[in-house]
Structure 1
Amino acid sequence: MTDTTTTTPPPGAPTGGLARPSIIITSQYLRDLSFENPNAPEALTPGNTIPQVKVNVDVKTRALAENRYEVTLNIKGESDVADKKAFIVELSYAGVVGVENASREQVGPMLLIEAPRQLFPFARQIIADAVRNGGYPPLLIQPIDFVELFRRQVEAAQRARTQGAGDAAVPPAGPTA
């Protein structure tokens, strides 16, 4: 009979002594909020016309310090009823994000996919409340596929580089300075 102890790391534990990449949102805040109701009270009168709603979402990043970034969700919602603007809502919602144990190639997706995914529910609630407080039913923005949004940004950056437009778009490897 022998006493042997084998140490097996638990499932999902990092191997080889390397820690997994992670992000930590240290703060989040409302940077800017605007609600315009240009045709009130007429636009508030219920009618048979179904409102047309358009929502645009953009994600921006900016380096604050080493491994510390600001990630900003910019959301704009517009509603038209019978060719008249019912409302315009614009929101910039940001968070300060720390990135740990990540390679340069991992930082971009972490900041442009995972951080916005965590900030989005809070921004969505602010938009819904602002529109409701403007006299309309809450604008409940559907979940956003930040992976697809990131892919489009990478493709746009690659097209801009091949067309000689410089580095105007977000680089695929990381945040803007």
Structure 2
Amino acid sequence: MSDTQLPPDNNTAPNGAVPPGPLLLNLQYTKDLSFEVPGAPEIFATLREQPRIDLALDVQARPLQQGGNVYEVELQIRADAQAPAPNGTTQPAFIAELSYCGIFTLNVEPNLVEPLLLVECPRLLFPFARNILADVTRDGGFPPVMLSPIDFVALWQSRRGQGDAQFQGGAPVPPVASA
């Protein structure tokens, strides 16, 4: 063994502890999940083509403690599927609503909190929410809804352009294809 000292690691605190990162995902969970088939069982007998799916997406963030750095970020997704009815009109095929949340700790400058909460946090939650939505629609008897990737930067910029500084609000999502 050698008696030479290694240079200090820039990623450790003076007491040898590892400092927390700028963004820490503490917990993620399904806060609410709803799946309805209003026209069941008849819809399954009359459905002859892929239903048209309208999606809405909303991101909300709120602090969990006054003046703290721990936040709940909520990704809300609603999918309304409309199918052609035998009489030439449309009928609801299904309605799926998902509220998927994460508890995040942020250790950043105050000017970075909003973009982290409304861009990076939902980006981390999205793959899990996407999977839940695909599973619930498939398990409900329909082709799984496969959401395309979401540009959370564009949604955040759109929200900032509307002057919403409350970390609340949403934006419609373009229709996606089911597979």
TM-score (norm 1): 0.76
- Alignment partner of 1:89 is 2:91: no
Letter of the 1:139 counterpart: V
Question: In structure 2, the residue corresponding to 1:137 is in which secondary structure?
Answer: coil
Q: CA RMSD in A?
A: 2.3
Determine which of 126, 134, 137 is the counterpart of 1:128.
134
Gaps of 5+ in 1: 1-6, 14-18, 158-168
CA 139–70 in structure 1, closer or farther in 2 if over 3 Å, else same:
same
CA 47–87 in structure 1, closer or farther in 2 if over 3 Å, else same:
closer
Query: Residues of 1 paired with 2:73 and 2:23: CA distance?
Result: 12
Query: Residues of 2 paired with 1:21 and 1:57: CA distance?
Result: 28
Query: Residues of 2 paired with 1:33 and 1:20: CA distance?
Result: 32
Q: Is the 8 A contact 2:47 2:83 kept in 1?
A: no
Q: CA deviation at 1:144?
A: 0.5
Q: Is the 8 A contact 2:24 2:104 kept in 1?
A: yes
Query: Residues of 2 paired with 1:103 and 1:21: CA distance?
Result: 12
The match for 1:30 is 30
Letter of the 2:82 counterpart: D
Question: In structure 2, the residue corresponding to 1:34 is in which secondary structure?
Answer: strand
CA 97–20 in structure 1, closer or farther in 2 if over 3 Å, else same:
closer
- Alignment partner of 1:80 is 2:82: yes
Q: CA deviation at 1:41?
A: 2.0
More displaced, 28-37 or 40-49?
Answer: 40-49
The match for 1:140 is 146
Query: Residues of 2 paired with 1:109 and 1:22: CA distance?
Result: 12
The match for 2:72 is 70
Q: CA deviation at 1:46?
A: 6.4
Off by >4 Å, runs of 4+ in structure 1: none
Question: In structure 1, the residue corresponding to 2:64 is in which secondary structure?
Answer: strand
Q: CA deviation at 1:47?
A: 4.6
The match for 2:118 is 112
Q: CA deviation at 1:40?
A: 1.5
How many residues in Structure 1 have an aligned counterpart in Structure 2? 147
Query: Residues of 2 paired with 1:143 and 1:46: CA distance?
Result: 31
Q: CA deviation at 1:55?
A: 0.9
Gaps of 5+ in 2: 1-6, 12-18, 85-89, 169-179
The match for 1:4 is none
Structure 1, residues 14-37: CA drift from partner, whole Å, max 9, x if none?
xxxxx9972100000110000010
Q: CA deviation at 1:103?
A: 1.6
Determine which of 156, 167, 170 is the counterpart of 2:165.
170
